[in-house]
A and B are shown apart, each in its own frame.
Chain A
Amino acid sequence: MSGGPTAGIVAPAPVRRRRVVMWSAICVAVAVAVLIAVIASAQPSSEVSAKSPLLGNTAPAISGRGLEGGHYTLSQFHGRWVLVNFMATWCTACQKEMPQLERFWDEHSKRGDAVVLTVADDPTNLAQLRSFLISKGAHWPAVDDPAATVSYGLQGLPTSFLVAPDGVVYWYLLGEVQASQLDKLLQQGASLGLGQA
């Protein structure tokens, strides 16, 4: 006789069925657990540095009246890095990232290699945005171009696009930017022969 003591013994049909049901239930439970784990571990959209279909493509035009008067276009900054930053005053994350924008602006406006261009997200919020930017000492251009929210595929606030000197979208972030992160991106871009950092 070969095999162990149970060799050749076939479980009765009800027992087999019970096993099938049990394994089916286990498989379903594992699948549900994996699904829940995937959903639970997903980053909230406000913190996602998601991919934008615009990356690597020419930045859509921005054109509109400045909140402080005048008229701004994105193309007038061609040859410099442009941080296109969408914001509204009722967005607390936008308020929180202001010091980072100020740091970036202070450093790079002196060098002349990069500018910040704020785009108002909410047309009903222009007066407050103007007051807010003034109160924060933000001296960079801010523009009202409602169409830009669609042409840039805006999916939340704050959102920033770093446009390379050649006018191509180099980087995108849905969330708060960090000045140090932007500096690194400019250095990285310089090493690739884009502009000067």
Chain B
Amino acid sequence: MQQAQSAKRHRWALSLLWAAVAVAVATGLLVGTGALGGGKERSPSSLYERTLQVAGEYRCPVCEGQTAAASEAPEAVEIRDLVGGWLSEGRSQAQIKSYLVERYGPSILERPPSSGEGLWLWWVPVVVILLAAGGLGVALHRWRKGPASAAATTRFGPERSAEPATAPATRAQSMALPGVGARVALGKAAVPRYQRVAFGVGLAFIVLAGALWFVDRASGGRVAGGTVSGGPTGIGAELEQAASETSTDPAAALALYDRVLANDPTEAVALTGEGWIYAQAGFAAKGDALLAEAEKDDPSFALAHLYRGFVLLGYERDPQGAANEFKWYLTHGPDASLEAKARAALAIAEAEAGR
């Protein structure tokens, strides 16, 4: 009687577990595809945001893993300029896409096309996951079906079993944990170890594939500073906008940085941006002070070191200090698109320091 209750409890627990997994997967899929609203990108309000959104649909042609919206490589900047110019002229996104694919080929697309040659890229993962899920379903069915005869003997208790249990089953039964039904213990022992391992690996694969797909759906095409499921918002958006306006409209960029610093005076990105603008405007000492402040507030923010190096080399006539900054930058995971510039600047700084 106690065993029957225990088995019942276990079945309930298993059912609950499967239900929880199903709910988690369904929620993930719904959120990931934006069906619940959380994944929907808010419609961009300005040309700048629309440009970033559209540019986010294209790869940076000279970078690894970055979109044309997120990269500062000259080629990506040019694509952004082209996208922004064409959008302001009222040209459609289809025209932009057609032009870029004509020039770069389909590889410029951040997401492979869902037709033609790109079709298989979309469907192969789905087919693989369905096949894997089907295989696991069959395995699970056999697993449950396999030990049924042994389980049947235990429903009436081991003492009423008509046939002696096999040796592995007896061992498993004796090893069964309190509260776990004998049926499960017998079933577990009746399934060969390699099958259990294969089942576990298959399940892990499906969960992993689902998780990766979800992450990709949730984060795909986002721009630097943007939220996971929406367009750029809050401080991230202001910093992004300020960075893009630094060369075209430094006054506007400065105002944006000021706004960020009013909320958080230790925001290293804003301090770095302001420092660079001041230095370029001829206020090298103030620029250097702001960059030094950025380094102090966030020592791990590499760009502060890089820009301070440029300021020390170009404006402050301190090649040794500049060399130290460039060395720091180059030894702390430099951005691929800036590494060559940093190395060239380091060579100049070291040459000047040696004179």
Contacts and interface: CB of A to CB of B under 8 A. Distances in A.
Interface of A: 14, 17-18, 21, 51-54, 60, 88-92, 121-124, 128, 146-147, 149-157
Contact of B62 (A54, A124, A147, A154): A154
B62 A156 contact: yes
A97 B298 CA distance: 41
Interface of B: 61-62, 74-75, 78-79, 81-82, 100-105, 108, 192, 194-195, 198, 340-341, 343-344
Contacts, number: 63
A21 B82 contact: no
A155 B68 CA distance: 12
Contact of A21 (B62, B74, B194): B194
B103 A146 contact: no
A30 to B, nearest CB: 16
A21 B78 contact: no
Q: Is the interface of A mostly helix, strand, loop or mixed?
A: loop
Given A90-B341, A149-B78, A154-B75, 16 more contacts: A18-B192, A21-B194, A53-B101, A90-B344, A91-B340, A123-B74, A147-B78, A147-B82, A150-B79, A150-B100, A150-B103, A151-B103, A154-B61, A155-B75, A155-B104, A157-B62
A149 B79 CA distance: 9
Nearest to A86: B75
A18 B74 contact: no
Contacts of A146: 74, 78, 81
Contacts of B100: 150
A107 to B, nearest CB: 31
Contact of B102 (A53, A88, A92, A124): A53
Contacts of A154: 61-62, 75
B76 to A, nearest CB: 10
B103 A122 contact: no
Contacts of A92: 340
A91 to B, nearest CB: 7
Nearest to B73: A122
Given A146-B78, A149-B75, A156-B62, A53 B104 contact: yes
Contact of A18 (B78, B82, B194, B343): B194
A167 B185 CA distance: 78
A28 to B, nearest CB: 10
A53 B103 contact: yes
Contact of A155 (B62, B194, B344): B62
B74 A121 contact: yes
A160 B78 CA distance: 19
8 contacts: A18-B192, A18-B194, A54-B103, A90-B341, A90-B343, A147-B81, A154-B61, A154-B75
A96 B198 CA distance: 53
B6 to A, nearest CB: 29
A153 B344 contact: no
B47 to A, nearest CB: 18
Contacts of A54: 103
B347 to A, nearest CB: 10
A89 B344 contact: yes
A14 B101 CA distance: 54
Nearest to A124: B74
A59 to B, nearest CB: 12
A154 B103 CA distance: 9
Contacts of B194: 18, 21
Contacts of B340: 90-92
Query: Among A146, A155, A156, which residue has the most Cβ atoms of chain B within 10 A?
Result: A155
